Amino acid sequence: MNDAPNSIFSLILSGEIPSHKIYDDDFVYAFLDINPLTRGHTLVIPKENAPTMDTLSEDSAASLGRVLPKICRAIMQVTGAINYNLIQNNGEAAGQTVNHLHIHIIPRYSDSEHSFVWANQPIDHLDAKNIAESISAAFSNFLRSNLWAAEDNSG
Ligand code: AMP
């Protein structure tokens, strides 16, 4: 667990400020965004006070992953949207304005005009090989250190 400062979403979770609730369980809460990009724009948050995805515990991540598809399905069924985007900003420079991990579900309608455009470039395969191998090695190290931590804790 981390000790990120409380955000406005902590006040929503504690019921100190109201929200339009969509879903609630021990680990996850979902509610309507107060400034929706489109009708039915929903935020799904862990109850754990994690600011960004890389800081989230495995239990909360698993709970989030378990309910996300069903929340998307319910939104699609009720709104009649033709498609939807999941957007998840991590950190201020990446556009995050509320310091509590949240996933936006943004329905797209036939007359929607919003876009999420970025200027991408063809991959540099030499650099790609290096970075893919480095990230893969870092990931393996996380797995190993998790296993060691689990063994240490088992007594
Ligand atoms: P982000 O820019 O990814 O951090 O998104 C934060 C989102 O939280 C924005 O879309 C806001 O409209 C939304 N938001 C902020 N305060 C509230 C609130 N009290 N209730 C519902 N949504 C909120």
Residues 7-32: pLDDT tens digits?
Answer: 999 999 999 999 999 999 999 999 99
Residue 79's region, left for phi above 0, alpha for psi from -120 to 50, else beta, is: alpha
CB of 35 sitting under 6 A from ligand 1: yes
Count the residues in the chain. 155
Tokens (6 digits) for 48: 């754990």
pLDDT band at 38 (very low <50, low <70, confident <90, very high): very high
**Alpha-carbon dihedral 71, 21, 93, 6, rounded to 10 degrees:** -130
Tell which one of 33, 90, 101, 116 to mutate to probe ligand 1, the residue whose CB is within 8 A of the most ligand atoms.
33
CA–centroid distance, 29 to ligand 1, in Å, is 14
Residues 146-155: pLDDT tens digits?
Answer: 877 777 766 5
Residue type, 129: K
Query: What is the pLDDT averaged over residues 109-123?
Result: 95
